[in-house]
A and B are shown apart, each in its own frame.
Chain A
Amino acid sequence: MATYDNKIWLLKNIRDAFIATDDTGLCEIVMAGEDFSKIFQNKAVEDRKRIKEGRYKQTSVNKGKEGMGDISEDDDDREIVTQFDPYPDMEDSEDDDLMCGSYVRYDDFGGHRQRSNTAQRLDKKEQALKKAAKIKVIKWEDPAPLTSEQISEMFAKVEVKKAEKQKSLLTEQLENCPDLPHRQYLEYAKFDGTAQLGLPTKSFKIFMTMLPEKHQNYPLVVCVIANAKIKDLIGFTCYKYSIEHPEVTLGCVHNYGLCIAEEDGEVDIGFPCLDANEPCSKFGFTCLGLVDLNNKNALTHGPIHSIPDDGMLYKGLDIFPKASDSGHSHHTQPRLNTGDSTTSETVKIAIKAVSNEKKAGDTDLDKLHSHMTEPPQYKMYRVNLLRKVRTNIPVQLVISFDKIEVEPLIPHKHAFWSKSKYFLHSIDSIAWCQMLEAKASKTTFRVLYSPLHNTNYDHINLGASIFHSNATYKYHDFECDHETAKEIVDKINIILDRRNSPCRRDYKIAKEKKLQTRRSFHTKHLS
């Protein structure tokens, strides 16, 4: 692989592997101050500048990028991706980047920056101006002597009346509102992350799995300050929930634990709860399930073996602190460690069961749609699903009028880390589909979707994510022979055009906007 000759990439991976596989956390402490990959990054910047001047622009840019983010390395290898719409600013910003000489902002985005540095700065300035325009400013001016008329008007004497005994509205409200259930969690209120000034915060979707099913429909979205510990997050969740649902009685904070959960709220019982004393900034997941510790043990099959925490792994590989914003679940991350086989089997069985159940329910729908005439018929293709870190896997891609299914064809029985996943996307969550690159024998194509619109089938997504205005889009890349690829892309596009879902419309509008700004940006600079 081309990346192996990149010393930055290698250094980073070695470093991350140490950190990720070390349960004690000592590695991280020891290596905290010495991130050689960062030092090399800076060297790479200089290198790039030099090479660029020598007009070897393309190669040097790719090399520099690989060091920046392992997530984007594959994409950048493919020239075509730079033309792919979610990154229109990449080319625009190259010059800005070099002029500023700062690459810090790479840490702020999940490998794909939306805006160039200059644009961001202009935005900030504009916002500050807008804010200031709304604020009325009253300047102190040294006063001129007042006329006696003014004095009598401004400083008119008021007769002081004896205050009558009044009944207070507060007193009345207090009487109508006796003791409150959230009071027992009050100490956690200070971890509220909303409207903190200058403090980093973190948002989570918490599923209250320990409550009866009728209360589990929606996850509770909580925002806490980033240095809150997991136990504080538990406490704050209880606090927030008891304010919103005072009728539900929650138990003691110490009886609860937070577990990794899927986007649909299913708790991964194969994993231990997150360490209550760790700061929540350490973990990359955004979907968590609140579980009753007493019940949790009963749910798991066999004893919980200590598996190196995915959060650690995520953090190790994750040079973008905000990557968690993309709504990744833990399945989006590679597993470098081979976990305990009992646990892995349990997880696999559970996931398999879910997929079977969903499939069973969907066959009826398929039959319905197969009666519809021409293109939007149920059709199955054999393609390869491209993956960033792991090897590509053969999958069965099923396209019908209302959904797209991706099912792995070869189950890996023993290798836990190569466990592949079944996906189901509602067609209304698919935003875009296009060919990426045609090689001699193979053609790659991409399906872009929005997890937000995937309401019908709330599945975990393997795809990498792209930040695009406010919405987050993710994608799957596939590979197959040219004919099939063309057929699939055509088919999906016909369906998309027919459905014209809000997701697709939003995406088109955003794309159009981006193009326009790019155009106007260029015109401005040319004129």
Chain B
Amino acid sequence: MRMKTGMAGDGSTGGGSQVALVTGGYDHTIKLWQAHSGVCLRTMQHPDSQVNALEITPNGQMVAACGYQHIRMYDLASANPDPVMNFEGVTKNVTRVGFQQDGKWMYTGGEDCTAKIWDPRAGRQLQCQGIFQVPAPVNAVVLHPDQTQIMVGDQSGIIHMWDLRTDQNEQLIPEAEASIQDIAIDPEGKLMAAVNNKGNCYIWSLCGEPPRPVPRKHIQAHKKYALRCKFSLDSTMLVTTSGDCSAKVWRTSDWSLLRELRHDSQRWVWDAAFSVDSRYLFTGSSDSYARLWDVEKGTLEREYCGHQKPITALAFRDQAA
């Protein structure tokens, strides 16, 4: 009873939050863009830290940003440049942030070697917080679409599958002595991908109850450090971004390369996000630009300029038309 409503409400869409592109990076700011025109609508302050990851709440009203010793939430609908919520008690870099699909709780992972479940209803007698300790700093955290399992990837190269209901976990080691950089699960919950600092990408099928990973494919995706991987909403594509100055889009049907997205000045590509129809892809890179690519045509459609320093994180919220 007490836990009926979460911080992000009931999932209804807030005003002005239909389509939102949010970027953040080394210049300690978070920018909200009008995605189709490329105009920066607002700049929010993220003092004392770079932005490691951004995630828009399920109701589209707020964006969570995590950085060095900070997790903050910003109101996307108002003009307030300051955060509206501050999560305290974290040390070191917080590398990932995400939400339960109804906004009941938030999860984070960080270099303090933990993954955490946060209950934003501060001051309650009963708080539903959870913690999961691993032996190495956490680089990647992702929630399974069934909302009961969290995958935690650490710098020692282990993927921990944390079952929230039983608090049990299983481990996967795709490659020895290679740090896991990011993990993705496709929206249907059938595929899991992980990229590491050697530029390799590993793919598993998730089947059974609870889901068990079955190795499916190993791709030498990049020659250098991989940074992110993400599935498209229709599960037909996987994008991997890397320090080799490219983002690569792979077909999930046969794991062949569909597009290699490069730009002369792009440098490291830190983050990426698909549009809801899987036609467009946003990338954010070290040249302080975010870009919009037409994946079907392989063309560059828009550029987003305004950051003073590299963009290291982006979040995109689309809406079905």
Cβ B86 vs Cβ A140 within 8 A: no
Q: Decide: A140 near B82, CB < 8 A? Known: A186-B303, A190-B307, A192-B306.
A: no
Residue of B whose beta carbon sits closest to that of A173: B36
**Is the CB of B38 closer than 8 A to any CB of chain A?**
yes
**Is the CB of B218 closer than 8 A to any CB of chain A?**
no
Complex contacts, B233 vs chain A, CB 8 Å: 163, 166
Complex contacts, A140 vs chain B, CB 8 Å: 87-90, 116, 118, 129
CA distance A46 to B236 in the complex (A): 75
**Is the CB of B301 closer than 8 A to any CB of chain A?**
yes
Residue of B whose beta carbon sits closest to that of A156: B147
Cβ B88 vs Cβ A186 within 8 A: no
Cβ A143 vs Cβ B43 within 8 A: no
CA distance A139 to B302 in the complex (A): 40
Cβ A168 vs Cβ B47 within 8 A: no
Residue of B whose beta carbon sits closest to that of A147: B126
Q: Decide: A187 near B305, CB < 8 A? Known: A140-B90, A140-B129, A141-B129.
A: yes
**Is the CB of B262 closer than 8 A to any CB of chain A?**
no
9-residue interface stretch from B151-159, B243-251, B252-260, B272-280: B272-280
Cβ B280 vs Cβ A157 within 8 A: no
Cβ B305 vs Cβ A190 within 8 A: yes
Cβ A170 vs Cβ B276 within 8 A: yes
**Is the CB of A526 closer than 8 A to any CB of chain B?**
no
Could you say which interface size class chain A belongs to? 35 or more
Cβ A167 vs Cβ B29 within 8 A: no
Residues of B at under 8 Å CB distance from A?
Answer: 3, 18-19, 27-29, 35-40, 42-47, 80-90, 101, 104-105, 116-118, 120, 122, 126-131, 145-148, 164-165, 187-189, 233-235, 275-277, 279-280, 288, 301-303, 305-308, 318-321
Complex contacts, A162 vs chain B, CB 8 Å: 188
**Is the CB of A368 closer than 8 A to any CB of chain B?**
no
Complex A-B: 14 CB contacts under 8 Å = A134-B82, A137-B85, A138-B88, A139-B87, A141-B89, A143-B129, A158-B101, A168-B275, A168-B280, A169-B19, A169-B319, A174-B36, A196-B43, A225-B308
Complex contacts, B117 vs chain A, CB 8 Å: 143
Cβ B89 vs Cβ A189 within 8 A: no
Nearest-neighbour CB distance to chain A for B209, whole angstroms, equals 10
CA distance A180 to B35 in the complex (A): 13
Q: Decide: A155 near B147, CB < 8 A? Known: A136-B122, A190-B308.
A: yes
Cβ B19 vs Cβ A189 within 8 A: no
Cβ A168 vs Cβ B318 within 8 A: yes
Cβ A177 vs Cβ B86 within 8 A: no
Complex contacts, A163 vs chain B, CB 8 Å: 187-188, 233-235
Q: In the complex, which of the residues B35, B122, B131 contacts A142, with contact meaning CB atoms closer than 8 Å? A: B131
**Is the CB of A104 closer than 8 A to any CB of chain B?**
no
Q: Decide: A168 near B147, CB < 8 A? Known: A134-B82, A154-B104, A195-B29.
A: no
Cβ A170 vs Cβ B275 within 8 A: yes
Nearest-neighbour CB distance to chain A for B136, whole angstroms, equals 20
Cβ A186 vs Cβ B38 within 8 A: yes
CA distance A172 to B308 in the complex (A): 30
Interface centre among A139, A151, A170, A177 (most CB of B within 10 A): A170
Contact with B along A144-184 (1 / 0, CB 8 A): 00100011111111111011011111111110110010110
Cβ A154 vs Cβ B85 within 8 A: no
**Is the CB of A80 closer than 8 A to any CB of chain B?**
no
CA distance A172 to B318 in the complex (A): 11
CA distance A196 to B81 in the complex (A): 11
Cβ A170 vs Cβ B36 within 8 A: yes
Q: Decide: A154 near B27, CB < 8 A? Known: A137-B88, A192-B306.
A: no
Residue of B whose beta carbon sits closest to that of A183: B38
Q: In the complex, which of the residues B37, B46, B279 contacts A171, with contact meaning CB atoms closer than 8 Å? A: B279
Q: In the complex, which of the residues B88, B120, B165, B187 contacts A155, with contact meaning CB atoms closer than 8 Å? A: B165
